[in-house]
Amino acid sequence: MRDAVTTLIRNYDSTGRYLDQNALDSLKTYFDTGMARVKVATMISASAAEIVKGAASQLFETVPELIRPGGNAYTTRRYAACLRDMDYYLRYSSYALVAGDSNVLDERVLQGLRETYNSLGVPIAPTVVGIQIMKEMVKAKASDTGIEDVSFVDQPFDHMLRELSEVSV
């Protein structure tokens, strides 16, 4: 797994360049938000079950056909799989938050996800809605802990949303 620092250095090294002002500014931003990133990851870890349960409730209120007969979260087994997947997205988002790099999401979450979901008949659009809800919940909880600028929280969630939303649903 890479982080913001190793990714930046790797990119500059591969082109044989010294770190310029843009690189240094990027590093400064990463380090300036370091404690906030760790604080948010700690908060996610401590309240992951609450976040997933709350996001699932909102998702099923927004898309109630998912829990109706024939819906993709209708049976207990499917409902549990939905919660498991939401927890998976949240956990890997916390890794990407700390790393300041979304690479882990590509390697561990997104590669092959569309194909897997399509082969299982799992709709991607509700997944996108669920991830968006979790993003908003994490940002609200981060603000509640006293973090003033929570914009860095967007990065991993928006990365997943972008990648999954490319598929026509």
pLDDT per residue rounded down to tens, the chain (169 residues): 889 999 999 999 999 999 999 999 999 999 999 999 999 999 999 999 999 999 999 999 999 999 999 999 999 999 999 999 999 999 999 999 999 999 999 999 998 888 888 888 888 999 999 999 999 999 999 999 999 999 999 999 999 999 998 644 4
Nearest residue to 133 (alpha-carbon basis) of 77, 96, 99, 90: 90
**Cα gap 5→166, rounded to integer Å:** 28
3-state secondary structure of 152: helix
Domains of the chain with CATH codes: 1-32 (no CATH), 34-165 (1.10.490.20)
Question: 135: Cβ–Cβ under 8 A, 6 or more apart, which residues?
Answer: 153, 154, 157, 158, 161
3-state secondary structure of 113: helix
pTM (predicted TM-score): 0.90
